[in-house]
């Protein structure tokens, strides 16, 4: 029973970390929308999640050089960096910048909604656990 709960929390944590990483990338694209020769990037969420949970042979473990390091997926995490790709050009500009602010805002809003969904899923899981514990008394 506990392994199922642990698996659920680990999955949600992984998905939330990847969503947060994608949000950072999209925000960076928006911040650099006027930077000459800046190439828009995005995180392939589906492949990064597959890699992170091990469906593609990937792992969540990071190489640590000190016992005090905290494991997980930060900006340099293998799963977060693996799915980052350059976005296809929607409308080329003369200065070489490939960021379309409207497209980026749409992806930003969609990713924010997906992140909110994961938060609600986590809340629902915790509420179910609390209800199950209160019924056993």
115-132 pLDDT, tens per residue? 999 999 999 989 988 998
Closest by alpha carbon to 83, among 130, 22, 37, 26?
Answer: 22
With cut-offs at 50, 70 and 90, classify the pLDDT of residue 4.
Answer: confident
Interval 24-81: pLDDT, tens? 999 999 999 999 999 999 999 999 998 888 754 444 455 567 777 655 544 444 444 5
Would you state the pLDDT for residue 75?
Answer: 40
The average pLDDT across 14-30 equals: 96
Question: Beta 84-86 vs 41-43: how paired, if at all?
Answer: antiparallel
Report the C-alpha gap between 96 and 17 in whole angstroms.
31
For the chain, what are the domain ranges? 2-135
Report the C-alpha gap between 19 and 136 in whole angstroms.
36
Would you state the pLDDT for residue 71?
Answer: 56
Q: What is the pTM of this model?
A: 0.75
């Amino acid at each position: 029973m506990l392994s199922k709960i642990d698996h659920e929390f680990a999955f949600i944590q992984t998905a939330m970390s990847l969503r947060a990483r994608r949000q950072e990338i999209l925000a960076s694209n928006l911040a650099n929308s006027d930077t000459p020769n800046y190439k828009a990037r995005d995180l392939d969420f589906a492949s990064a999640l597959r890699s992170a949970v091990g469906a593609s042979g990937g792992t969540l473990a990071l190489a640590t050089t000190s016992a005090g390091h905290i494991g997980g997926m930060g900006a340099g995490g293998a799963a977060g960096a693996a799915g980052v790709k350059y976005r296809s050009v929607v409308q080329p500009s003369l200065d070489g910048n490939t960021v379309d602010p409207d497209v980026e805002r749409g992806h930003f809003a969609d990713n924010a909604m997906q992140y909110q969904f994961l938060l609600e899923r986590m809340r629902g899981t915790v509420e179910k656990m609390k209800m199950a514990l209160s019924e056993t008394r």
